[in-house]
């Protein structure tokens, strides 16, 4: 394709499109990436994600599988119609091998099982954004990052990779 005017800006400023109908997961993901300087455009549904991608400069998408008004899997090809080069990550709490196969066949870059350990989520999103993941897993020492995303809030210990 042709070169766009804002190529230089993109290398320093990356943004993620997030589609998840769970408020607490959305807030958590926004916080997780805000400390890393990555802007998150949050949508509650696949349809909302499709509206956002038309107006916002997003560089990767993180899609929940189960949402009202269409699954992340249904949204994925439509997002890629708008932006063919968009790396997409799907995640689900009820992930099966068949779902993973379908998602990868539809063009997903990665498929993750909820609850997703924060470190794994950061690594996959950085990879999707074409960024090198910082070596220190503790970006913010005051923050308790042991809580996986999208899990029930029981007092389980840190998720082990």
What pLDDT digit, counting tens, does each position of 73-107 carry? Answer: 999 999 999 999 999 999 999 999 999 999 999 99
Q: What is the pLDDT of residue 69?
A: 79
Instruction: Confirm if 49 and 19 have CB atoms less than 8 A apart.
Output: yes
What is this structure's pTM? 0.79
What pLDDT digit, counting tens, does each position of 106-135 carry? Answer: 999 999 999 999 999 999 999 999 998 876
């Amino acid at each position: 394709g042709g070169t766009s005017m804002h190529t230089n800006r993109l290398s320093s400023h990356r943004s993620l499109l997030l589609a998840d109908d769970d408020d607490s997961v959305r807030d958590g993901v926004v916080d997780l990436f805000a400390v890393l300087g990555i802007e998150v455009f949050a949508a509650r549904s696949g349809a909302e994600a499709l509206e956002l991608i038309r107006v916002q400069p997003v560089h990767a998408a993180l899609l929940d599988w189960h949402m009202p008004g269409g699954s992340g899997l249904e949204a994925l090809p439509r997002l890629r119609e708008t932006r063919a080069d968009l790396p997409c990550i799907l995640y689900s709490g009820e992930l099966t091998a068949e779902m993973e196969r379908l998602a990868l066949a539809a063009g997903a870059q990665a498929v993750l099982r909820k609850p997703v350990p924060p470190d794994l989520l950061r690594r996959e999103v950085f990879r999707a954004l074409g960024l090198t993941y910082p070596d220190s897993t503790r970006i913010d020492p005051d923050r308790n990052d042991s809580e996986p995303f999208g899990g029930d809030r029981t007092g389980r210990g840190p998720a082990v990779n």
